[in-house]
Structure 1
Amino acid sequence: MARDPEEGATAAANPSIAASSRSRSVTETVNGSHHFTINGYSLAKGMGVGKYISSNTFSVGNYQWAVYFYPDGKNTEDSSLYVSVFIALASEGTDVRALFELTLLDQSGKDKHKVHSHFDRSLESGPYTLKYRGSMWGYKRFFRRAVLETSDYLKDDSLSITCTVGVVVSSMQALRQQSLPVPESDIGRHFGALLESGEGSDITFEVDGEVFHAHKMVLAARSPVFRAQLNGPLSDSNVKLLQLEDIKAPVFEAMLYFIYRDALPDASEVLSSSSYSSTSLASTMMAQHLLAAADRYGLDRLRIVCEAKLCEDVSIDTVATTLALAEQHHATQLKRVCLKFAASNLAAVIQSDGFDYLKESCPSLQSELLRTVAGVEGGDDDELRPGSKRRSVWTHLADGTDGTGRRVRVKQP
């Protein structure tokens, strides 16, 4: 059958016939949770109506949030009959729309939690809108205080609250006709296999009597120190063996593992090559040694990974040595976390095994710790300068006083 010559021309001239495209607007929530524990509830009572205890800020949907707990209630008219709980927008924002959930945890094991939630229920007016920084959502009469104090929600003078925030976000998606899944990068696995096989290795390290084979170009690509040592103008291109004396073999092996794979070895692998009886302790000690090695060899990403690991594992037993390590190797974020933890747990920290080492290795930290104890951030303080007549924090602690001269009760080991 002959086709009308005008038919093709009409189709080509009409875009709706010649081609089509699709898009989709997606509105969803970006969710995140924060667990807030309030120890010493009975001591918090009486602080006053409208006064609150705040959690650390936490991030959800590119905004900062905080949980406010009012032990004597938020409003005067409640006359301390109720405790109040609110979620506050702690960063700059305008008309931030979000869903919220507050859960007071039942600590008896019966899972009879008290839950106030926006999630999984129909909302007549949609998500709650916070207009500006400091806007809050919550309950002035969250729980009658007399009932709370005889309930399973209060245990060992402690309350636990879980806060979930779902920030509403909208995005436009262009719909593709076809798509193929792309596997995750496996370059680390391939380079790891290269390290394990030793194929093509051109440099050997001897550490504590152990021998490690590696590749100069890989080391140079990852570490500026290795690059200068192996390929710099003062390097010897014929060198085949390097002896290292200031690093332990398990630490060097873990560092090589990271250089090739861009990841830390499993804690079980660390434990199998160490003398520590605890996997957690072995992992913490390895992170401490690796932080020092990362600083020495200019491995910035490894240093940050170790800082993050040590921040998670900071404890009474490790904070003193970790604080000294952070000071010596320029780990400023880790140092800040350790100072805050040490100041909050001072009586126990000064009894730890690592505290004497901290005093001897980093005497300059005494003024920073004293400022942290006093709640002072930075600034010049004539009384804290070297040579001043004010006693050091170590002296205060030795005679049982804190940085303000008040008595500190120290638990005996």
Structure 2
Amino acid sequence: MDDFKGDVDKESCSKSINETVNGSHQFTIKGYSLAKGMGAGRCIPSDVFNVGGYDWAIYFYPDGKNPEDSSMYVSVFIALASEGTDVRALFELTLVDQSGKGKHKVHSHFDRALESGPYSLKYRGSMWGYKRFFRRTTLETSDYLKDDCLIMNCTVGVVRTRLEGPKQYSISVPPSDMGRGFKELLESESGCDIDFQNCLAKVLPQLEAYVHDSSCCVTRKNKKNSEGFRHLEESCPSMLCELLKTLASGDENSSLLSGRKRSGSSLLGVDLADGAPAESANPNGRRLRRRF
């Protein structure tokens, strides 16, 4: 049986990460005794603080939140003070022991997070806390009240869920400087594997006889009999074609003999015969300085 050679699907993965963004706020109430008698349902709010992108506030009810409790308890709540829908969070309220013994009164939602999960606040003004946070008569005789002052710490942990997929890596590619590289290479002539000077040096002597021909015509027969032309034809065919076209045209203004001005006055740096600029007479009696 032939081996199965079907396409194999690429594997993919993702990860959902649930975590809390935590923040704390300390709320101090000075002149507690003056706050009593406000009436049930009336509160002293803390300043607004931000945790996890949401605003929060602590509400302290010195006469309790519920009228039916007849001011027997103080109430404490944490409220969502900004717009939000179904904001899930964990809370902790701590009434600080001011005696230095460290016996703080702690009500924590963090401790039972695995049991009941985070608390969900549906809209702005939603609260989490305790209507019967502390019996008032007991509070007023405890170490939590000192110099008519109460201190409460509040911790909020906003639950966030983020999706993590395969990490994408990117490499910054610098702009190309190939043009500058080619320019430097041509100027330095380092690493060249074609030597046009050596190539043409073998056929310049051969072209001398043809240059003296006033008609500037080169026959196919003479070309074939020239060893230099055979070498040029095999090694530099495109250059040969250009030379033949120029020589056959008889136009001394466009021919390679009037040439481009270059350092060394030669064809790609090579003189026709002995390395020096050569001169000859044209049919009109004027002397021509031959350059390629």
Q: What TM-score comes out, normalization by structure 2 length?
A: 0.55
SS class of match (2:59): strand
Cα distance change on mapping 1:122 and 1:166 into 2, 3 Å: closer
SS class of match (1:77): helix
SS class of match (1:56): coil
Match of 2:8 in 1: 14
Instruction: Note if 1:23 corresponds to 2:17.
Output: no
SS class of match (1:146): helix
Task: Give the superposition deviation at 1:175.
Answer: 4.0
Q: State the alpha-carbon separation in 2 of the partners of residues 168 and 122 from structure 1.
A: 11
For the aligned residues, what is the CA RMSD? 2.1
Cα distance change on mapping 1:107 and 1:173 into 2, 3 Å: same
Q: CA offsets, 1:359-385, max 9 Å, x none? A: xxxxxxxxxxxxxxxxxxxxxxxxxxx
Task: Give the superposition deviation at 1:123.
Answer: 4.4
Match of 1:171 in 2: 162
Task: Give the superposition deviation at 1:125.
Answer: 3.3
Unaligned runs of 5+ in 2: 170-292
Unaligned runs of 5+ in 1: 179-413
Q: CA offsets, 1:88-129, max 9 Å, x none? A: 000011111111100000000000000000113354432111
Match of 1:91 in 2: 82
Q: How do residues 331-346 of structure 1 correspond to structure 2 at under 5 angstroms?
A: none
SS class of match (1:101): strand
Match of 2:52 in 1: 61
Match of 2:214 in 1: none
Instruction: Note if 1:104 corresponds to 2:98.
Output: no
Instruction: Note if 1:48 corresponds to 2:39.
Output: yes
Q: State the alpha-carbon separation in 2 of the partners of residues 130 and 121 from structure 1.
A: 17
Higher helix share: 1
Identity of aligned residues (%): 73
Read off the aligned partner of 2:49 and give its amino acid letter.
F
Q: State the alpha-carbon separation in 2 of the partners of residues 41 and 65 from structure 1.
A: 22
Q: How do residues 163-312 of structure 1 correspond to structure 2 at under 5 angstroms?
A: 163-176=154-167
SS class of match (1:163): strand
Read off the aligned partner of 1:152 and give its amino acid letter.
D
Aligned residue pair count:
170
Task: Give the superposition deviation at 1:177.
Answer: 9.9
Alignment partner for residue 68 of structure 2, among 66, 77, 88? 77
Task: Give the superposition deviation at 1:176.
Answer: 4.2
SS class of match (1:91): coil
Q: State the alpha-carbon separation in 1 of the partners of residues 159 and 18 from structure 2.
A: 7
Q: State the alpha-carbon separation in 1 of the partners of residues 53 and 124 from structure 2.
A: 13
Greater RCO, 1 or 2 (C-alpha within 8 Å, sep 6+): 2
Instruction: Note if 1:142 corresponds to 2:136.
Output: no
